[in-house]
Amino acid sequence: MSSIIQLLPDHVANQIAAGEVVQRPASVVKELLENAVDAKATDIKLIIKDAGKSLIQVIDNGLGMNVTDARLCFERHATSKIRHAEDLFSLHTKGFRGEALASIAAIAHVELKTKQDQEELGIHIIIEGSKFITQEPAVLPKGTSFSVKNLFFNIPARRNFLKSDTVEMRYIIDEFQRVALAHPNIAFTMYHNGSESFNLPQSNFRPRIVNVFGGKTNEKLVPVKEDTEIVHIHGFVGKPEFAKKNRGEQFFFVNDRFIKSGYLHHAIMAAYEGLLKDGAQPSYFLYLSVPPNTIDINIHPTKTEIKFDDEHALYAILRSAVKHSLGQFNVAPVLDFERDPNLDTPYQYQQKEAEYPTIQVDRSYNPFADEKPQKAATNFNYKKPELQPSWESLYVGLEEMDTQSSEISFETDAVSSSLFEDTDTEQETKRTYQIHKKYIVSPIKSGIVIINQKRAHERVLYEEFLTNMTVHHASSQRLLFPLEFYFSVNDIEVIKEIKLSLENLGFIFDSIHADSLIISGLPVTITESQVSIIFDDLLTDFQNGVGGDSFSQNDSIAQSMAKSLAVKTGTYLTEKEQDNLVNNLFACREPNVSPFQKPTFITMSVEDLDKKFSL
């Protein structure tokens, strides 16, 4: 009987490994950027086309490779980072598995140009699907240029699973920001479809954070610093008043490597206890330095999770460090029974002498005198009040007024009688009742209908917004003073993608800059105070991704805005508001469910009520 177990060919093994290493274009960006950092580059350029589906190119001025290394780097398990198994517990570099370049070359068209500083000529290699096409010397600058074209060209099924360019580009920006934040001593530049998205010069940590997330980020940051034998912590946390609903600005770096840790995140949330609103997430950019032998990096395929030797001590140190910083910079309330801060002398008055008040008195003033005295005190102006009319004058003409009022008394009685009759009739025909500020009950022919006011309003707003975006007949109101909002670069890119849909809703954009936008007009149904809430919820919802076609994007926008603007549970509604909501709900195309496919109302027949009382 012949053997059934066989060794896989190299190109098949590389494609299988690529399924773990290369999940999307952002995975390639991460691997290439980390290789450039490990090559000790001081200037790194990232060039993207079509969200990485057509081109991903990383250019650095690092050490470069010789001919042998350039050819060998595409072999499986070929790495310059590890010599012995013990090296896994003393890693100071990013990549160390030796599978990244081999996996990338198996599923894309790869072009490598590299040259070392001491060499006269560099090497130019072209690989397509693990097959070496050409290898020749070339005149090149110092460093390495790595181009990945037509990703997943030989695995069409994987390419079809990629999401829209907008979503894939957000993943790429996330990876770029993580590497750039971890290495502020390196200059980074990013281009997408020919336009510059980021230009980050060499700096320290705080300017790098501000350059990545916009100029207004600087006023939100509170420094954190703590040095112990277990860990050295430095970085910044955000002030509680700037907390957001999403977790887009939360970064942990351990030994210059971005990680995700729910355990450490819980320590941060514990430090903010009592300072945040429900559902709010603080921003933090924390850099932790620990001995390499106290962590295990090789526990997750993407190396974004780390195992610590003493997690409990790290939790306590991180929590106390953040809490101390929040209290030290007067962000958190501090109990101090020894002094009252209200009694402190302001800084600008500490060196000044006290000024005593002066009192001026008019000694010749007589309140009982009929006339104003001829001579008054200096700098004391007194104006005698005018004489008030006597109380008898208030009743002059009263008899005439009574006569006039009696002449029209019959007409007034008739009108009043008619109004009260209408009010009684209106009271008898009341059709809706609000229960616990959550449900609206209305009688119907067969029984009663119970409506969830929040879900019903979501359905009404959803269909209204969706109609406005598709038919383009929404009305706008111009603002006397335009509104300016500040966002991160990533958020601005999302807003640019949905700008047309928002304009169809009635928003008027004056300008959109790298980290801010100016709005000069709003839909007539939206107030100025609701705009920031709408944009925060939109950006939070769009982090999960939207479809590529315009309808799915419009649908997501309509859902998000309906959720933001719908009347909340616990809101009192007048009788007229209840009637309008009920009428608008049953005028919708699909009144039975909310935009999130939850029931908006239930009905109970008289028979059902009779059964309840027959028990």
218-235 pLDDT per residue, tens: 888 999 999 988 889 999
- Residue scoring higher pLDDT (341 or 125): 125
Residues of the chain with CATH 3.30.565.10: 10-200
- Residue scoring higher pLDDT (386 or 108): 108
- Residue scoring higher pLDDT (496 or 189): 189
Residues of the chain with CATH 3.30.230.10: 208-328
Write the DSSP symbol of residue 122: E
pLDDT tens-digit series, residues 344-401: 666 566 667 777 777 777 778 877 776 554 554 444 444 444 545 555 555 555 555 5
User: Average pLDDT, whole number, for the chain?
Assistant: 79
Whether the pLDDT of residue 489 is over 60: the answer is yes
Instruction: Report the range of poorest mean pLDDT among 198-212, 360-374, 428-442.
Output: 360-374
| 107 SS3 class | coil
- Residue scoring higher pLDDT (243 or 84): 243
> What end-to-end distance do the CA atoms of the chain give, in Å?
76
Q: What pLDDT shows up at residue 33?
A: 92
Which tokens in the block code for residue 563? 């959720």
Q: Which fold has domain 208-328?
A: Ribosomal Protein S5; domain 2 (3.30.230)
Which tokens in the block code for residue 92? 């100071």
Which tokens in the block code for residue 219? 């006023």
Q: How confident is the model at residue 94 (pLDDT cuts 50, 70, 90)?
A: low
- 442-602: CATH class: alpha beta
Q: What pLDDT shows up at residue 176?
A: 93
Q: How confident is the model at residue 83 (pLDDT cuts 50, 70, 90)?
A: very low
Q: Are 45 and 58 in contact (CB under 8 A)?
A: yes
Percent of the chain at pLDDT > 70 equals 77
**Dist. CA 532–CA 485, nearest whole Å:** 8
Rounded to the nearest 5°, which phi and psi values hold at 87?
Answer: -65, -20
CATH ID of 10-200, from 3.30.565.10, 3.90.1150.10, 3.40.50.970, 3.60.15.10: 3.30.565.10
- The pTM of this model reads 0.70
